[in-house]
Structure 1
Amino acid sequence: MTQVNTFQLNSSKDEAQKAAFQLSAPQDDCAVMFASPHSGRHYPDEFQSLLRVPLMDLRRVEDAFIDQMISPVSELGIGTLSAVFARSYVDLNRSETELDSRMFSDGAPTPAGERSPRVEAGLGCIPRIAASGQDIHVRKLSRDEAEARLQEAYRPYHRALTNWLNLIKRRCGRSVLIDCHSMPSLVAGRRIRTDIIIGTRHGASCDEGLARTVENHFLALGYKVARNIPYAGGYCTQHHGRPLEDRHALQIEINRRLYMDEDTVRLKPGFYKLQSDMKALGLSIMNWAEGTRMLNSQRT
């Protein structure tokens, strides 16, 4: 399996240019790609110098270890793409126009800072607030600083994801993106008891058969599963999910309490079971993709 752009990073004293992603290329006959846009853990030194909050506040909003959890699916021939830069530096599951112009001393780098509930909450493409609710930065950013983050971390990841999904579609006649995330076990003081939330944009981003395949896989393993509430899928799912064109995208949210200590951002033994279960899920999705492709070819 081809491996490129691989790094294991947190903060780094070596500020040479970093690759924006880790990639394991899919086999030629595989229609499936797993992605992890929020598991990056590289915090550039210049970014750390701007922090108003402790670094641990930012680490607690990472989808920590999700890139490692999905990595064994590459042994099946499935492609994987994972972020390197931390989501507090730039959030890859947002449109690059979702920027709060009030964060910048001379205006946002995109033509119009897109207003959205996520931007209003401080969770735009360049986030404003940390897990504690405090501002991340000690000062306003310049337009050039924001543009540098988009150029360095955001656009390379999305070019790679788009290019690979397009190539998969040409090779296999369809593409399947499984966008993998983790969710906190406590939101606004309320404990999330669901283990897995499947996001399909309320049916708009993927075939129902794919959603049932994923749902039934986790249910059979004893997980508590829900769909679309409160996470229906973000920018990546929305952007790449066009089931009428046989381009499918589904988001998976995994409750962090199952596999990590959320305060210290350390693994718990449950990680290894989930890692095995995710690999088995990959095989189920491959079988679904191949089976429906064969069925469609017979109909035509």
Structure 2
Amino acid sequence: MTTDAPPSFEYLPGAPDSPVILHVPHSAREIPAAVRSGIVLDDAGLERELDHITDAHTASLAGAAARASAVTPWLFVNRLSRLVVDPERFPDEREEMLAVGMGAVYTRTTHKEVLRPDGFDAEPLIERYFRPYARAMTEAVADRLAATGRAVIIDVHSYPSAPLPYELHGGGPRPEVCLGTDSFHTPPALLAAAREAFARCGETGLDSPFAGTYVPLEYYGKRAEVSALMVEIRRDTYMTEPGGPAGPGLQALAESLASLADAAQTTPSAPPSPSGA
């Protein structure tokens, strides 16, 4: 579970002419020893929390999809647990998940128990892990824009079949595949391609129980050439919950994700806003 200096993230090249980045932020369980020392859970409690909070096997899913794609997408994979930092959360008061102790650095668990003590100084973790990750992801998008004129971020996540206490919007539908969208960065053609690609895997829903997409702040709401879609897969469709092995459903999901990645090579970007923002 812990190592002294594991790599924070990995950016794996795809086809030079591919605009697609499969982003996998929450698949890892690794926690550096220095970070573990700031967590108050005992080893057994931490393992239980990792079972609940980790999007298990999503890196394997994205990797299999990349290998199956006709045009290989690029892969950006977080190699550390989101209990180190969550690269998709705001590190300030804009983050609504602060209400349950789950901003960029978590202080509470999925069951609202104490993870880090009151008064914990998150800034060293933000500086060491969050900001370099954000810069690298921004550079990855810039690289695809320079090479192809556009970028398509497909965010690969999973979620439990039953809501956990920390969820702020857990009362809605929990389809086999939830598609998270953004009004600016998710063009209709990309959403339609995702619905078609995942139709074989069961029901697809929209923005429930999790909504939105991940776009680096430098581009968010500003560059329509950057498209984004979040794919949230219900865990019971491909693994034993909460933290068990993958099952046969993983292969069908990988094939669907590969179909989406191939379709996204040619889906048009969202139209620019009238203001040109």
Give the TM-score band, short-chain normalised.
0.7 to 0.9
RMSD: 2.4
- The answer to whether the aligner puts 1:74 opposite 2:54 as a matched pair is no
Structure 1 residue runs of 5 or longer lacking an equivalent are 1-9, 98-113, 294-300
Task: Deviation per CA, 1:219-244: give whole Å up to 9, x if none.
Answer: 2x142011122322255477755586
Q: For 2:164 and 2:132, how far apart are their aligned partners in 1? A: 34
Q: TM-score, normalised by structure 1?
A: 0.77
Q: 2:175 aligns with which of 161, 186, 194?
A: 194
Q: 2:13 aligns with which of 25, 43, 46?
A: 25
Q: For 2:172 and 2:149, how far apart are their aligned partners in 1? A: 42
- The amino acid of 2:137's aligned partner reads L
- State the partner residue of 2:235: 256
Runs of 4+ residues deviating >3 angstroms: 73-76, 188-193, 234-244
- RCO (CA 8 Å, sep 6+): is it higher in 1 or 2? 2
Q: For 2:108 and 2:159, how far apart are their aligned partners in 1? A: 17
What pairs with 1:81-160 in structure 2 (closer than 5 Å)?
81-97=76-92, 114=93, 116-138=95-117, 140-142=119-121, 146-160=122-136
Asked if 2 retains the 8 angstrom alpha-carbon contact of 1:130 and 1:136, the reply is yes
- The amino acid of 2:33's aligned partner reads D
Q: 1:116 to 1:175 in 2, by over 3 A?
A: closer
- The amino acid of 1:19's aligned partner reads P
- State the partner residue of 2:148: 172
Q: 1:166 to 1:249 in 2, by over 3 A?
A: same
Post-superposition shift, 1:212?
A: 0.9
The total of aligned residue pairs comes to 257
Q: For 1:65 and 1:84, how far apart are their aligned partners in 2? A: 12
Task: Deviation per CA, 1:166-220: give whole Å up to 9, x if none.
Answer: 111122111111111111111158695401111112x32221111111112212x
Asked if 2 retains the 8 angstrom alpha-carbon contact of 1:240 and 1:249, the reply is no
Q: TM-score, normalised by structure 2?
A: 0.83
Q: Whose helix fraction is larger, Structure 1's or Structure 2's? A: 1
Asked if 2 retains the 8 angstrom alpha-carbon contact of 1:94 and 1:235, the reply is no
Q: 1:177 to 1:204 in 2, by over 3 A?
A: same
Structure 2 residue runs of 5 or longer lacking an equivalent are 166-170, 270-277
Greater radius of gyration (CA): 1
Q: 1:264 to 1:20 in 2, by over 3 A?
A: closer
- State the partner residue of 2:272: none
Percent identical: 23
Q: 1:205 to 1:165 in 2, by over 3 A?
A: same
- The amino acid of 2:37's aligned partner reads S
